[in-house]
Amino acid sequence: MITLIDNFLNKITMYRLTLYSLIVMALGGLMLSFLKILPYNPFYFILGAVFIVLICYLSNILFAKVFKAIPNVESVYITAFILILIVTPIINLSDLLYWGFLFWVSLFAMASKYIIAIGKKHIFNPTAFSVALMALTINQSAGWWIGTMAMAPIVIICGLLITRKLQRFDLVMTFLVVALLSIVGLRAQGLNSGILLASHSLLYSPLLFFSFIMLTEPMTAPQAKGKRIFYAAIVGLLFSPTIHLFSLYSTPELALLVGNIFAYIVSPKQRLVLRLKKKVQIANSTYDFVFNADEKLNFYPGQYLEWTLGHRNSDSRGNRRYFTVASSPTEEQEIRIGVKFYPNGSSFKENLLNMEEGDTIIASQLAGEFILPKEKQKKLVFLAGGIGITPFRSMIKSMLDKKEKRDAILLYSNLTKQDIAYGDIIKQAENEIGLKTIYTLTGNILPQENWKGGVGFINEKMIKEKVPDYLDRHYYISGTHGMVVAFEKLLYDIGVPKRQIKIDFFPGFA
């Protein structure tokens, strides 16, 4: 079952999964309204939802044109559906003031992405900002109707899928523990009262929806593990409604806004407009895209960026992707990515492949902890499958340029000889800094290829034979999700401690 779930999650982008989850929650709320389990008129529910989506869509188009920005299609609908799920559905169609509230809360949610931004990077969660602004100015707040026991099963199932996709269980659990301790510690009168209050907070408040959906938003949350744990603790501590500053009492949205400020302070802030310098085919169906940057990107080898490519008729996977930076920090003013293309690929990749010299793409959201250890004496093994070589290209190039000799072994698996990428850099590293490389092919090998490397999948026998001191080494694994999982299990089975294994992960791997 877990394998089936992971296969599904690997085929869908993070943004698309979040959007589909929100739609499922909204449909669940609508169905419960039809069944009169929730006290809302289904027809009014639909009208309000359509109105919010329409205002968000139109205002986003307007702001994108004014600010000359590339609109992100999924984010418009994600914001709209979060508003649908937290703003109480309209009760009276003739209530013009409430229609006005829906209009302004939708408009300001979109506006915050463009206006409340520094360096074209928005600071606050759009829905939290908009709802807080309405509460502080016209004393009209969200009802957070999603926080009911009837909706809890849907929220939990969808939320767990999103959290597994993002690999943010540490963030969610830290927030839930701190928030419950804050609520119970400030309000409970005893043990029984505390248990009752904690269970009520989980099932009859927005706590679960807030933690799974709003807290985890990548654009306004820190990506580094230590920082995101601290971020979760800050928001959790402030989540209790008894926390106040003079007459201003905390709300979920205010708690999140404070956390967003912390996240902005501690997170990388660069948002680069990159121009294509050249694209070079480096392997079978694999291209190296080299971009010129107006400013230097400060990063560690092995980190990744979110790439946004505006194009018409975007398919269901949207116009954003995460790619590891294949270049080294030593290659100043030049940023490259290695991309593998498959038949019937996405519209994003199709448009990426069709880019011409001088065309632009947006890169932001630098993150990732798949980086070399500070201790240069640590012995390393790089396990790469296919295009999973990209972070290792960055690391190896950095070591070459710095003349940094580390005891490193590269095990590089491909289907065919023609799929091997960055062979020139690898060969140079073998000659100049002593990198040891073991190639292996898993597909059919033609006699005329005169292949002298390994044959078959990387397995226990190969590791023990090629890496005699395998228990003493630190392992870095990069490739497809299935390959990473298989290699990780293989290392566990032969006794390599978990603390000696790093896997290349970024949200929305699909």
- 510 falls in which pLDDT band (50, 70, 90)? very low
Beta strands in 357-494 (DSSP E): 360-367, 380-385, 408-414, 436-441, 454-455, 474-478
pLDDT digits (tens, 9 = 90+) for 358-405: 999 999 989 999 999 999 999 999 999 999 999 999 999 999 999 999
pLDDT score of 388: 94
390-401 vs 423-432: helix crossing angle, rounded to 10: 40
pLDDT digits (tens, 9 = 90+) for 330-358: 998 899 999 999 888 888 999 999 999 99
Q: Which residues of 405-414 are buried (b: 16+ CB within 10 A; e: fewer)?
A: ebbbbbbbbb
Pairwise CA distance, residues 395 & 433, whole Å: 12
Q: Is the pLDDT at 215 greater than 90, yes or no?
A: yes
pLDDT digits (tens, 9 = 90+) for 66-105: 998 877 778 999 999 999 999 999 999 999 999 999 999 9
pLDDT digits (tens, 9 = 90+) for 406-419: 999 999 999 999 99
pLDDT cut 90: percent of the chain above it: 76
- Tell me if residue 168 falls in helix, strand or coil: coil
- Tell me if residue 38 falls in helix, strand or coil: coil
**DSSP structure class, residue 430:** H
pLDDT score of 508: 45
Give the DSSP H or E segment for 39: none
Mean pLDDT, residues 240-268? 93
Prediction pTM value: 0.89
- 180 falls in which pLDDT band (50, 70, 90)? very high
Give the DSSP H or E segment for 399: helix 390-401
pLDDT digits (tens, 9 = 90+) for 314-325: 777 778 889 999
Indicate the residue type of 280.
Answer: V
**Residue 283 pairs with which residues in a beta bridge?**
286
Q: Is the pLDDT at 255 greater than 50, yes or no?
A: yes
Tokens at 110, concatenated: 């979109």
Indicate the residue type of 471.
Answer: L
pLDDT digits (tens, 9 = 90+) for 135-179: 999 999 999 999 999 999 999 999 999 999 998 999 999 999 999
- Whether the CB-CB separation of 426 and 434 falls below 8 Å is answered with no
Nearest CA to 78 out of 274, 219, 222 is that of 219
pLDDT score of 507: 57
Q: Is the pLDDT at 18 greater than 80, yes or no?
A: yes
Judged by average pLDDT, the poorest of 23-27, 135-139, 307-311 is 307-311
**Residue 320 pairs with which residues in a beta bridge?**
308
- What phi and psi, each to the nearest 5 degrees, are found at residue 180? -65, -40
Q: Is the pLDDT at 2 greater than 90, yes or no?
A: no
Q: Is the pLDDT at 430 greater than 60, yes or no?
A: yes
Mean pLDDT, residues 202-223? 93
How does the average pLDDT of the chain come out, rounded? 92
pLDDT score of 89: 96
Sequence-ordered list of residues with C-beta below 8 angstroms from that of 158, at least 6 positions apart, any chain? 21, 22, 24, 25, 212
Q: Is the pLDDT at 61 greater than 60, yes or no?
A: yes
Indicate the residue type of 164.
Answer: R
